[in-house]
Amino acid sequence: MNFLWFLRMVKWARNPPSMKQVKVFSAVLAIVLVIVGLDMLGLWPDWAHVAGKPKIH
């Protein structure tokens, strides 16, 4: 484990995120999980899919 992760954990332990930030993160995570679940079940519309792989130059 990188030393910077320990510093980040210490920062969070001393100054945890507010309840509002936790709620926003949880809501975004729930929305993403719903979208991924719908896509895996085949219920996500075809027009919302990316058309092919992006070309990396």
Q: pLDDT tens-digit profile of 24-40?
A: 999 999 999 999 999 99
Which residue ranges of the chain lie beneath pLDDT 70?
54, 57
**38 touches 44 (CB < 8 A):** yes
Q: What is the pLDDT of residue 57?
A: 66
The per-residue pLDDT for 47 is 87
The predicted structure's pLDDT at residue 37: 94
Answer left, alpha or beta for residue 16, where phi above 0 means left and psi between -120 and 50 means alpha.
beta
Indicate the average pLDDT of the chain: 90
Q: What is the DSSP string of the chain?
A: --HHHHHHHHHHHHSPPPHHHHHHHHHHHHHHHHHHHHHHHT-S-GGGS--SPPPP-
Q: How far apart are CA 19 and CA 7, in angstroms?
A: 22
Domains of the chain, residue spans: 3-43
pTM (2 d.p.):
0.68
